[in-house]
Structures are given as structure tokens and as C-alpha cells.
Structure 1
Amino acid sequence: MKGEKLNSIILILLVLLLLMMVGMGIGFLTVIKNLSPSASGSKSATEIEKPEKLYIYDVNDGKPLMSNLQDTQTNVGRVIRVTVQLEVTDKKLPETMKEKNIVIADIIDSVLRSKTADELLKPEGKEKVRKEIKDRLNEIFDNKVYNVNFGEFIIQ
């Protein structure tokens, strides 16, 4: 009798211990899942949800823009030739941008002129320019510029 009672108590304690371990494992996995950056519903500040529909505007009607780059001791007289395409979130914005093409081209030119060839040739250089142009355009166009794409990007 005593042996059976002792076995029953040990069995109950083992089952409880097993349930506690399973519960702790589930809790641990839940915490890890919620902390991971790829968890759904937890987007970082830099991650912006892509709109359903984007509209395209080709700066300068798709023709290349040329700018002088900032001189350095090792690189003097370098120029850049780019074609720029803007993705915007407002259907009517490309028409407005046509009317302000000269302003857009001037912003792109001023951003490019502030860079050296060495800066632009670094892997992150193009991305920095893309972001700077986008930020400057969003000041004018009420944050409706979603992306800046370069077709041609030649430095000579």
C-alpha cells in the first residue's frame, strides 16, 4: 500500500514537472518570437509599408542629367550622368511634377554636387544620395515620394 502511494506521488510530481517544463518552453518561444524584428506587426521605424499602387515620374522626361562632383585632391573635374525615376503615391503627382521638373532637377543637381566621386563609388554612397534626394523632394511634395531610382549612374 505504502509503495503504491509513493509511486503515485512520484508519478504526479513527474507529470507536474513535465507540464511546467512544457509551459516554460512555450513561454520562452513566445517571448523570442515577439522580440524578433521579423515578427508580424512589429515594424521598425525605417521600414515603411509599400503602398498598393505607385505612380512613376521620369525626371527630365527620362533624359540624363549631368552634374559636376565636388573636387578633392585626388579627384578634380569629375562629373556624373544620371537618369532618375521617382515612384510616388499620388496619382496626380506626376502631372504636378512635370510642371516643377526644373525644381526637381535642381534638387538632384545640388545633392549630387555636394558629393565627391569617392563618396558615390562606395557601396553605400548611392543609397545615401537616393535617401537625400527623396527626403528633399518629400519636403516639397508632402511625403508622397516613395522611392528614387537611378537608371544610368555614370561617373567620369
Structure 2
Amino acid sequence: MLDHPLATIENLRVEFQTKDGPVVGVEDVSFEIRPGETVCIVGESGSGKSVSSLSLMRLIEYGGGDIAGGRLLFKRGNGDEIDLAKTDQSLMRTIRGNEIGMIFQEPMTALNPVFTVGRQLTEGLRMHKGLNKAEAEARALDLLKQVRIPEPERRLT
């Protein structure tokens, strides 16, 4: 059914452990994302926008957060619905980049200046799509052309 949500966040609670005990990052956050929808999370600085988004991707744990409550239901490409809050990180690595992705808020932190743009664009293609180096480079070039990046061949290097 096309109207079925791809992702349902229900009563999300995220905590961060401090020396003084747990601090709540978000509490009772709920929303749905349906096919074809663009969902924007708006709020003041510190209101929990990034914490909520990073939780859905299960990246919050790498920033010291813990999903302390709620459900993160995700409908996979095969039709199965799973709770990402309970999914082990090895499966999450498969899901991230293959089935869900995120465009982060700060464009200046999106690419690492130590590595070429080409290396950074092809890494995910090779890891998640099983492309070899030449195939990944060709796909990255095609993607840069699609979004009209000037001089895409030069940008890759």
C-alpha cells in the first residue's frame, strides 16, 4: 500500500550519560515519513532536531546518546517492518546507504578535505552497491553531471 509509512517514530526518548546522571536529549518525539514525502524538522537550536534524526539512523550512539525509549519502525525494501531501535549495528550498516540515508545540516562538514571528492563519493557505492573502482568512479561522475556540478571530471580528483 503506497500510503503506508516508510518510517514511524513513536515516543522517542534519547538520553546522554553524564557524570551527574542521564540527561534527556529528546522526549516523546513522534512523526511518520511516507513514500514521496519530504519531512522537515524545525525547531530552536538545542531542541532535538539532530538528535531525533541521528537516532533514526542509529548514529546517535556514536555521539554518546542512548535510545532509552520508543520505537523506530522502518519498512525495508523487501516489505518487512523492523524496529531500528532494536536492530544490531551490523544490520544497520547494511541498511544505511542502501535503504536509508541522510543529508546533514552543515554542508562544510559533509566532505573531508583530506580525501578527494571522488574517493568520498565512490566509497559508499563500492561498499553498499558492490561496484568495483572503475564502476563506482563512472557512477560518481554521472551523479555529478546529473546535479550539474561544473567540471565534474576535475572535481572528482
Q: What is the TM-score of this pair, normalised by structure 2? A: 0.23
Q: TM-score with structure 1 length normalisation?
A: 0.23
More strand as a share of residues: 2
